[in-house]
Structure 1
Amino acid sequence: MDESEIQKMFFHPVCTRDEIERIFNVQNAKDYLLKLRAETIVDNTRLFRVYRRKALASGDSWTLEKSFNDAHWQSVIGKLPEDQRAQCKNVTFGDILSTDPNGMIFETEYGPVATICNSMEFFTKFANLAFLGFKTEVPYHVRINALKISIRVMLKTEAMDFSVDPRGVLPADVANEIARPIPWLKKFIAGHEIAHYILGHLTNENVIEQPVLCATSIDDDNYKPSKVFNPSQKNEFEADLQSILMPKYNDIERGEVLTGALLWLAALDVFEHVSDMVCPKAPHRYQTHPSPSERYENLLTSIPAPQGMPMDDWRQLSENIKYLKEYLTEDVGFNIENYEFYGSIYLDKPNSAWRGRELIDRVDY
């Protein structure tokens, strides 16, 4: 057996035979995206276990490519003027697994490949539980635990097995409210990357190298870098605005996208605050985006308030984030191991209203 056949064996548990051939013989941007997804999974033991379990559960219908949903990309493109939709045909869009919660646009010989992180749904779901108001009273400690789960998702220390171990039990009104903004915030992030391309922000002068996945430590030298575009900080603000203004949204839709964007940036602000303490940035690393708090404020002051949208509530959330970051600074200082260990944390103690019965790994799932 030659070396290439040995290498292909590592991909068999998560890819079909046809997908493996595409990965080892890339012909176009879609193949490049598939290769990026597959290599990230195969090179990360934790992700590999999650996707192996998904593949086994799906049986013969499984393909790695189809396990990624691109509905948010197509929804944004469908709202663009005809000439801009035509431009988007030159770009390949899709989600990947990454430790960067911002989108990434890769420079390839087959054209640009625009991506966002596939963990975004869980990252924002638990952050929304921490931030939003509900008819049902949510205990403070449940909100704090939800915020910690959200942070750990992006640190890649939280096990991604939420479908079998959901971390708690939520009342229906709470579950519905935390899920409702997620499709809209995905459209905002997808629209941001699309705007970069349409506005001409992607040039050879702003290509950098960075890994798709980074270790939860300062030493990420073993993580293979890829070439990605790094637009200027000014261009990032412009892409934020045009993500909301460029598509032909009506007033209600625009308000929903703005709501999703603000919730995401609030979560991102908290995550980056903790990430910088758990795994400080090396001096050589690039800052690819302005701070989330700057982007949050830019949206608040630059986007006309949609009718009925309580902007004062969003300014209050910005203030609340400051207090949460103070709490997390102290918590990381005394309990950093709670952010670094790989496994699961929960909304509450076992056999409580917000946790339910304790589930045992390899017994209950």
Structure 2
Amino acid sequence: ACTATMEKTTLMSPPLLPGNRNITEEEVRRILNLLPGSRRASNGVIVDNGDGTSYHITGFITSDPEMADVENLHLAYATKHEIIRLRELRTAHDYLLRVRLEAIAASPRAVRTFRKRRAQFEERGRRWTLTDYYNAQNIDAKRYVSRLSRPLQRIVKSIPYGLAPINEVNAVARRTMLGDVVMVAENLRYFFYFMNIAMYGPYSEIRTDDCIDAAIIALRIMRGSESFDFDLDPRATLPAQIEREIQSKTGRQMEFTFGHEFAHLLEGHLVDRLGSDDLRVYSHECEFAADCRAVLAAGSDHETKRTLARGAFDVLLYLHFLEVSARAGLLRSYSDGVTHPLPLERIGRLKAALNKRYLPPPGEIEASEDAIDTMVESVTKRVDVSGRPDLLSFYGSLYLPTFTDRMKTDRIEF
């Protein structure tokens, strides 16, 4: 059965909230002595309330009189300048910053994750800002942009783009009142990562059970039940060579994902079509066009296009996995027939549009479709025999048993 751990605490608003200063060892000892029921955590102290809830104290706020209380809370993961800047949104960059900040603030797990990210960022001698952090994470997007012609680069670089810790595991090119913006959910990268383990794992001699568990984690990410704390608890430590191969595949899938959203911008799709009678047809054709443009616009050499095409077919096959999983009852209804055609339709149109030299070997995509059907059957069986009817829905973490020495206790060990 899958190894699982659930939330050990219910986070409430503590008297000492996470803030812009980490708790010291002296303060930890003082709290342990003063408060009955308190326990040392991996970071800070857990104080049990005796009613099934607890406080997790990780730091303290140094109140800034120029800022409101809620603004002071944001100092754990954003700078004062960034927080004040959002009092009045002026540009699409402000819009993207606000989306990121509000998404972090809404999730205690995200706050914990960003505290660690900030500490690691500053340990490397860099001055932390939330914007600089995300600029450093834009590797896949920037790699794709570097493959475009200079005129197209100028268009794409004129808008803000990048990852965001939003709950909806999706990618979007959005027109706002402040300008255009492209956002890709961070968890989409984790979804691709675990799907790559699930589908490519057998070629790297990863055990079948681990591949099935990876597919379950991918489904849980899409359902929103797998907690956003992969920096704290990575679920698996793969051998270095396998990790490099999986990350390489994930990177090319993220490149295509950003390329697809940039293509909507370049193709002029970011217009208000609400109320149009041909919304469905228009939207489907937009998706087909963006898939094709994402591959063909990048790079002048055949190998680049072949690599991006492989990433595109992986992404669409993984969307097909979600479609089949939804039909099997493993996922809530996934298909959006109004704006997006079925993944297999997108695969067919992309195959027809690309030069044969960019396509995988004959029969490979069809074999992948069969493998996805088999994987969904395996996941269904695993859920049925696990003894946990909530295996896909409980909030917490699942692990790949071969690559995790033991189940960890949330907040006590990470």
Under TM normalisation by the shorter chain, which class is it? 0.7 to 0.9
Once the two structures are superposed, the pairs formed by residues 193-212 of structure 1 within 5 Å of their partners are: 193-206=261-274
Work out whether residues 240 and 299 of structure 1, in 8 Å CA contact, stay in contact via their aligned partners in 2: yes
Structure 2 counterpart of 1:48: 111
1:178 aligns with 2:246: yes
Q: In 2, Cα distance between the equivalents of 1:280 and 1:309?
A: 31
Work out whether residues 192 and 239 of structure 1, in 8 Å CA contact, stay in contact via their aligned partners in 2: yes
Per the TM alignment, residue 35 of structure 1 is displaced from its structure 2 partner at its CA by: 0.4
Identify the match of residue 300 of structure 1 among 351, 360, 363.
351
Work out whether residues 73 and 187 of structure 1, in 8 Å CA contact, stay in contact via their aligned partners in 2: yes
Q: In 2, Cα distance between the equivalents of 1:124 and 1:8?
A: 34
Runs (5+) with no aligned partner, structure 1: 209-229
Structure 2 counterpart of 1:263, which letter?
D
Per the TM alignment, residue 159 of structure 1 is displaced from its structure 2 partner at its CA by: 2.3
Work out whether residues 99 and 117 of structure 1, in 8 Å CA contact, stay in contact via their aligned partners in 2: yes
Per the TM alignment, residue 128 of structure 1 is displaced from its structure 2 partner at its CA by: 0.6
Distance 1:279 1:316, change over 3 A: closer
Bigger mean CA deviation after superposition, 108-117 or 59-68? 59-68
Q: In 1, Cα distance between the equivalents of 2:312 and 2:337?
A: 23
1:240 aligns with 2:284: no
Per the TM alignment, residue 97 of structure 1 is displaced from its structure 2 partner at its CA by: 2.4
1:31 aligns with 2:77: no
Per the TM alignment, residue 187 of structure 1 is displaced from its structure 2 partner at its CA by: 1.3
Once the two structures are superposed, the pairs formed by residues 54-69 of structure 1 within 5 Å of their partners are: 54-59=117-122, 61-68=127-134, 69=137
Q: In 2, Cα distance between the equivalents of 1:102 and 1:2?
A: 38
Distance 1:307 1:30, change over 3 A: closer
Structure 1 counterpart of 2:197: 129
Percent of matched pairs sharing the same residue: 26
Per the TM alignment, residue 293 of structure 1 is displaced from its structure 2 partner at its CA by: 2.8
Higher relative CO (Cα under 8 Å, sequence separation at least 6) belongs to 2
Name the TM-score, length of structure 2 as normaliser. 0.72
Q: Deviations over 1:288-311 (max 9, x none)?
A: 422223223333343223379434
Distance 1:336 1:175, change over 3 A: same
Structure 1 counterpart of 2:403, which letter?
W
Q: In 2, Cα distance between the equivalents of 1:251 and 1:183?
A: 18
1:150 aligns with 2:233: no
1:325 aligns with 2:391: no
Q: In 2, Cα distance between the equivalents of 1:108 and 1:307?
A: 35
Per the TM alignment, residue 30 of structure 1 is displaced from its structure 2 partner at its CA by: 0.8
Aligned-pair RMSD on alpha carbons? 3.2
Q: In 2, Cα distance between the equivalents of 1:96 and 1:260?
A: 21
Structure 2 counterpart of 1:222: none
Once the two structures are superposed, the pairs formed by residues 216-231 of structure 1 within 5 Å of their partners are: none
Identify the match of residue 344 of structure 1 among 384, 397, 400.
397
1:79 aligns with 2:142: no
Structure 2 counterpart of 1:339, which letter?
L
Structure 2 counterpart of 1:264: 315
Distance 1:259 1:336, change over 3 A: farther
Distance 1:204 1:140, change over 3 A: same
Q: In 2, Cα distance between the equivalents of 1:75 and 1:346?
A: 31
Runs (5+) with no aligned partner, structure 2: 1-63
Q: In 2, Cα distance between the equivalents of 1:359 and 1:329?
A: 26
Q: In 2, Cα distance between the equivalents of 1:360 and 1:63?
A: 30
Per the TM alignment, residue 3 of structure 1 is displaced from its structure 2 partner at its CA by: 12
1:255 aligns with 2:306: yes
Bigger mean CA deviation after superposition, 197-206 or 134-143? 134-143
Name the TM-score, length of structure 1 as normaliser. 0.81
Distance 1:195 1:126, change over 3 A: same
Work out whether residues 164 and 185 of structure 2, in 8 Å CA contact, stay in contact via their aligned partners in 1: yes
Per the TM alignment, residue 199 of structure 1 is displaced from its structure 2 partner at its CA by: 1.1
Q: In 1, Cα distance between the equivalents of 2:338 and 2:354?
A: 25
Distance 1:356 1:338, change over 3 A: same
Q: In 2, Cα distance between the equivalents of 1:30 and 1:99?
A: 20
1:22 aligns with 2:85: yes
Q: In 2, Cα distance between the equivalents of 1:249 and 1:185?
A: 19
SS of the residue corresponding to residue 345 of structure 1 reads: strand
Larger radius of gyration: 2
